[in-house]
Amino acid sequence: MHGSEAGATSVLFGLNPMWVAAILFAITYVVVMTEKVNRAIVSLLAAGLMIVLGVLNQEAAIRGIDFNTIGLLIGMMVIVAITRQSGVFQFMAIWAAKKVDARPWGILVMIALVTAVTSALLDNVTTVLLVAPVTLLITEELKVSPYPYLFAMIFSSNIGGTSTLIGDPPNIMIGSATGLTFNDFAYNLLPVIVVIMAATLIPIYFIWGRHLKAAPEDRQRVMQFNEREAITDPRLLKQCLSVIGLVIGGFVFAKALHLEAATVAMTGAALLLLLANLGRDAEHQSKHVLDAFNEVEWITIFFFVGLFIVVHGVDSTGLLKLLADKMLALTGGNLTATSMIILWSSAILSAIIDNIPFVATMIPLIKAMAPTFGGPEGLMPLWWALSLGACLGGNGTLIGASANLVVAGFAERAGQPIRFMQYTLMAFPIMLMSIAISMVYLYWRYL
């Protein structure tokens, strides 16, 4: 879709729309990376300039926003905000610690598994927000360093999140752009994720796990925690679990029901808001609904809105099609070579820059390759390569994924800061191992 089709009347001062869009996009990227200005401000301002400078008109800009991604994120954030009030996540963490007799290595494995499974069913940022405080409490009682636990939590949240449509924002975006369902993601990615999760625990054991020791009396103290006390509102817990069950069912059967993921999530959020507020007067209802909406990460949502417009502006000038053609020329239109380039470049770039803008740029780029590989069906290996690369690559550095920064924030507040270089030196090689496993899997299953 070129400038005229995108609805742009004419770019100011008769400038080349492709250059204007490319420069705006590059500036957006650089400023987001410096973290000097809030990323939502940057992307919204850049989106406004795309329209003001004439690359897009407002109608075309709105067409560029992926409302399915936005709706799915908001719906799930509201559901999690309400569920959190029931105490179920704290219950799970304490229950997991007691299942392994409060042995330090056993607790690390259990926390990693709880984080991975929860990240697959909710988004990974939310998961670490809920599991990190309990982990810090347990490590404090055991008098062991929380660092290995938080390190394992970052890895398992991004690994677990890779396995489903809703686990990680890049997957939400890929699913929304391609019509791939919850079942498609689970069927294609879950097998390799189980292997990667097991493989990741091996270096963590040799680096830290075998040295983790706790005194018997400290373990006894953790064993005395009562997980049932963590459940603060049993009625709310039943309502939340029922709605989450319905929502996951909705994702699984979305194709058969002709529903988009955003519709399922938003309807689930509305139903849970209704159930949680039944029997309250109007004033209390307003307060509770406001509390739930305040938990939504609006910065992330508006960052997405602006970013979609910016990327759509770049795409509408034909620049991404040009890049796709260059990439295909480089690989000679070979599907295996193209898949591997997408996997490795996604992983390394997602470790250095936030994987969300990267994936937003790659989606139209890959779509432009459809004619070379015999239509949309032929692109499947490329979508799985992008998902595995972008989601797992996020583990490579502290800024690779939003969940990493959330955990780092908790660690800092607990007086156990995670240093950027210290983390990267350990994390980057382990991340590369997970990409090597993904490469073998992609080759074996699809190429």
Contact 103, 351 (CB under 8 A): no
Average pLDDT of 341-354?
Answer: 88
Q: Model confidence at 66, in pLDDT bands (50, 70, 90)?
A: confident
Q: Stretch 323-349: mean pLDDT, rounded?
A: 89
The region that residue 180 occupies, defined by phi over 0 for left and psi between -120 and 50 for alpha, beta otherwise, is beta
Question: Two tokens at 11?
Answer: 């770019």
**Nearest CA among 242, 250, 424, 302 for reference residue 351:** 424
Note down the domain range covering 28. 15-64+87-231+297-446
DSSP string, 383-439: HHHHHHHHHHHTTSSTTSSHHHHHHHHHHHHTT----HHHHHHHHHHHHHHHHHHHH
Can you count the helices (H) and strands (E) in the chain?
23, 0
188-197 tens-digit pLDDT: 999 999 999 9
Residue 252 forms part of a structural domain:
no
- Give pLDDT, residue 351: 87
State the average pLDDT over residues 32-52. 89
Average pLDDT value for residue range 68-74: 88
Q: What does the pLDDT look like over 201-242, one tens digit per residue?
A: 999 999 999 999 999 999 999 899 888 888 989 999 999 999
- Does any domain span residue 341? yes
Q: Is 283 exposed, middle or buried (0-12, 13-18, 19+ CB in 10 A)?
A: exposed
pLDDT, position 3: 41
Q: Which residue has the tokens 């992609």?
A: 442
Per residue in 383-409, pLDDT (tens digit) is 999 999 999 999 998 878 878 877 887
Please tell me the predicted confidence (pLDDT) of residue 380: 95
Region 267-285: mean pLDDT is 94
pLDDT of residue 120: 92
Q: Please report the pLDDT score of residue 6 as a whole number.
A: 47
pLDDT digits (tens, 9 = 90+) for 120-177: 988 787 788 788 888 988 898 899 999 999 999 999 999 999 999 988 889 999 999 9
- pLDDT tens for each residue of 349-394: 888 777 788 888 899 989 988 999 999 999 999 999 999 999 999 9
pLDDT at 319: 85
Q: What is the pLDDT of residue 4?
A: 41
Q: What does the pLDDT read at residue 33?
A: 73
pLDDT at residue 63 greater than cutoff 90 = yes
- The answer as to whether 112 is a domain residue is yes
Token output for 231? 């459940």
Task: Kindly tell me if the per-residue pLDDT of 2 is higher than 60.
Answer: no
Q: Which two tokens stand for residue 159?
A: 């690994």
Give the model's pLDDT for residue 283.
93
State which amino acid sits at residue 229: E
Q: pLDDT value at position 19? A: 92
Tokens coding 370: 């459809």
Contacts of 99 (CB under 8 A, 6+ apart): 106, 110
Q: Which residues contact 222 (CB under 8 A, 6 or more apart)?
A: 97, 98, 102, 138, 141, 142
Q: What is the pLDDT of residue 435?
A: 98
The mean predicted confidence, pLDDT, of the chain is 89
What is the DSSP secondary structure assignment for residue 9, as one 8-state letter? -
Nearest of 311, 316, 309, 306 to residue 17 by alpha carbon: 316
- The verdict on residue 251 lying in a domain is no
pLDDT at position 12: 75
Q: How far apart are CA 51 and CA 56, in angstroms?
A: 5
- As a whole number of angstroms, the distance between CA 42 and CA 36 comes to 10
Q: How many residues does the chain have?
A: 447
Number of domains the chain is built from: 1
| Contact by Cβ (8 Å): 418, 408 | yes
At 421, is the pLDDT very low, low, confident or very high (cuts 50, 70, 90)?
Answer: confident
Give the pLDDT confidence score for residue 39 in this predicted structure: 83
Q: For the chain, how are helix, strand and coil distributed in percent, rounded to 5?
A: 80, 0, 20
**Which pTM does this prediction carry?**
0.84
pLDDT digits (tens, 9 = 90+) for 8-25: 457 777 788 899 999 998
Rounded to 5 degrees, what angle do the CA atoms 102, 107, 110 make? Answer: 130
Q: What is the pLDDT of residues 308-322, one digit of tens each?
A: 899 899 889 988 788
What pLDDT is attached to residue 1? 42
Any domain includes 308: yes
d(C-alpha 185, C-alpha 175), whole Å: 8
In a domain, 386, yes or no: yes
Alpha carbons 80 and 123: distance in angstroms, whole number? 9
Residue 305's pLDDT is 92
> Is 49 a domain residue?
yes
Place of tokens 């300039």: 49
Query: Is residue 394 a contact partner of residue 351, using CB atoms and an 8 Å limit?
Result: yes
Q: What's the confidence (pLDDT) of residue 48?
A: 96
Instruction: Look at residue 284 and tell me if it is in a domain.
Output: no
Q: Give the pLDDT of residue 122.
A: 80
Q: Which amino acid is at 416?
A: Q
What pLDDT is attached to residue 111? 93
Question: Is a pLDDT exceeding 70 seen at residue 56?
Answer: yes
Cα 144 to chain center, whole Å?
Answer: 29
